[in-house]
Amino acid sequence: MRPASVSLDLDNLWAYLKTHGDPGWESRPSFLATAVPRLLDVFGEHRLTTTVFVVGADAERDDGAQAVRDVVAAGHEVANHSWGHEPWLHRYSRSELEAELVRAEDAIVAAGAPRPVGFRGPGYSVTPALLEILAARGYRYDASTLPTWIGPLARAYHNRTAARGAADDLFGGFGKVLAPNTPFRWHGTGLVELPVTTVPLLRVPIHGAYLLQLHQISPRLARGYFRAALRLCLLTGTTPSLLLHPTDVLSGAEAPGMEFFPGMAVPSAEKAALLGWVLSVLRRHFDVVGTGEHVDRLSGLLRERRTELCG
């Protein structure tokens, strides 16, 4: 069976509020103690080994460090999701970027995980400097890109009603239409890129928040959409990398201040049931692993690409 991967971006409540422009983020409210056990339960039920992209600032606090230990004890890979979950990371200077990555690595290791070899940026963007720093630090893969043409809709996940209007270059990097939807090796650094898979040919998102929006309209629609997306993956030889978030199992009451976010009206039990169904369907068609192992399994087969980057 062909491989597929499931990864979880362990974005905390404060990180959503920060991206949304809500000053309440500064007190760093957290829902990790609720979300992490629930997610690990769902993964355990489906006997899945996944990858959890951890934010360094959370790994430095008690509940985040506990989350890292629980994730490692359950056999999952821990990867780097930056230190401060800064949406403007792609605007950082090279030295700021490196400091951000190193601080996150150190926090993750101090919390009890092996030194990460995978990275996903908080804004679905990559820059040449980022790739060079990752390669120099011994990373094997980047998983930041989200190859969708639906810019405004994709941005909606991170910045739906933020008033600043400054979200326009949140997804900076390279042209989304041209961005590959299948893994490849970056020319130059040799780093593997594992994109967050979007629906082949249509290039619309598959991940949790999108499915939950459809589920709110009609549960049958959400399931039909996911089945169709997987069918297109099978037809086009795409090995999907599915992205999950804590909000995929949390109710609105468990994420105070996130009423702006899609799918928050769905009760948590209903969300967990949908996630369980998604994972079971994925497992029926693919050998589901974490992103690091997904990269390892494809490694010998990947083509090198000279994808043009700006910024």
Stretch that binds Zn ion, among 63-71, 122-130, 206-214, 301-309 (CB under 5 A): 122-130
What is the distance between the alpha carbons of residues 147 and 42, in angstroms, rounded to a whole number?
A: 27
Q: Give CA–CA dist 127/131, Å, rounded.
A: 6
Closest to 45 (Cα-Cα) out of 241, 278, 308, 285: 278
CB contact at 8 A, 108 and 145: no
Number of helices and strands (H, E) in the chain? 11, 10
CB count in 10 Å sphere of residue 182: 20
Closest distance to Zn ion from the beta carbon of 31 (Å): 14
Q: Smallest distance from the beta carbon of 300 to Zn ion, in angstroms? A: 30
Written as six digits, the tokens of 291 are 């992103």
Span from 6-14, 29-37, 125-133, 277-285 in contact with Zn ion (CB under 5 A): 6-14
Residue with smaller CB distance to Zn ion, 9 or 142: 9
Strand segments, DSSP code E, in the chain are 3-9, 51-54, 77-80, 118-119, 141-142, 184-186, 192-193, 241-244, 287-289, 304-305
**Cα three-residue angle 258-145-41, rounded to 5 degrees:** 55
- Minimum distance between the CB of residue 81 and Zn ion, rounded to whole angstroms? 6
Closest CB to Zn ion among residues 16, 286 = 16
Q: Which is nearer to Zn ion, 52 or 282 (CB)?
A: 52
- Rounded to an integer, what distance in angstroms lies between the CA atom of residue 119 and that of residue 308? 20
Give the residue with the Cβ less far from Zn ion, 9 or 77.
9
- 269 Cβ partners below 8 Å, 6+ apart? none
Residue 86 near Zn ion by CB under 5 A: no
Q: Considering only the stretches 8-16, 138-146, 205-213, 221-229, report the one whose residues sit in contact with Zn ion under the rule CB under 5 A.
A: 8-16
Minimum distance, C-beta of residue 82 to Zn ion, in the bound complex (Å): 8
Asked if residue 122 binds Zn ion (CB under 5 A), the reply is yes
Nearest residue (CB) to Zn ion, 9 versus 86: 9
Site stretch for Zn ion (CB under 5 A), options 10-18, 103-111, 262-270, 282-290: 10-18
Residue closer to Zn ion (CB basis): 254 or 287: 254
Nearer to Zn ion, 122 or 240 (CB): 122
CB of 310 to Zn ion, least distance (A): 22
Any contact of residue 11 with Zn ion (CB under 5 A)? Answer: yes
DSSP string for residues in 59-117:
HTSHHHHHHHHHHHHTT-EEEE--SS--TTGGGS-HHHHHHHHHHHHHHHHHHT-PPP-
Residue 124: CB minimum distance to Zn ion, A: 9
- Please work out the total of residues on this chain that contact Zn ion, with binding judged by CB under 5 A: 3
In whole angstroms, the minimum distance from the beta carbon of 221 to Zn ion comes to 26
Least distance to Zn ion, CB of residue 201, Å: 27
Q: Where does this chain touch Zn ion (CB under 5 A) — which range of 11-19, 179-187, 200-208, 226-234? A: 11-19
- Binder among 4, 6, 8, 9 for Zn ion (CB under 5 A): 9
Q: How far apart are CA 266 and CA 248, in angstroms?
A: 10
φ/ψ (deg, to 5) at 264: -75, -10
| Segment contacting Zn ion by CB under 5 A, of 7-15, 68-76, 103-111, 166-174 | 7-15
Q: How far is the CB of 79 from Zn ion (least distance, A)?
A: 12
Token readout for 108 is: 């993750």
Question: Nearest CA to 142 among 167, 123, 168?
Answer: 123
For binding to Zn ion (CB under 5 A), which residues are involved? 9, 11, 122
